[in-house]
Structure 1
Amino acid sequence: MARVVVNVMPKAEILDPQGQAIIGALGRLGHPGIADVRQGKRFELEVDDTVGDEELAEIAESLLANTVIEDWSVTRETS
């Protein structure tokens, strides 16, 4: 078994209202030096050795990310 992490983030040109809300809150809490925040999603999958990179890409594109507005990346974690 291996752990696979799929990170999904809004594309750079897409407005991120959650990230902007976090920026505002950070400033109010006394952390004015933060220039930008982008909020995304992280998925952790436990997969066996039969699941290949192409299948993981298909899962990310078809189920985990909205590819119109989000970018994704897949990494296998080693133990």
Structure 2
Amino acid sequence: MTVSDPVRGRATDSGGPVSVSRGTLFWYAFVSTLLVGWFFFGWLVLRQGFIDSVGEVLGTAFALLLAVSVIEAARRHRHGGGPRPG
């Protein structure tokens, strides 16, 4: 699917694969590992129950995603507001 990009004044392909940097992949893996570790720590060490541990990890993951979203929105607003070049 081709979409017109008003900032750059050209058509962009929004259906193709987007490359992700190694640093981003590292942080995805790191945070995922921490969340899985947090789940097992709560479930097996603190003995707080399976559902409680899942809920705590999902809540933490949602809060991290929300924080990343707010930070990225603030960065885009500060740097001109348009989509990031990619």
Q: TM-score, normalised by structure 2?
A: 0.29
Larger RCO, structures 1/2 (Cα 8 Å, 6+ apart): 1
Q: TM-score, normalised by structure 1?
A: 0.30
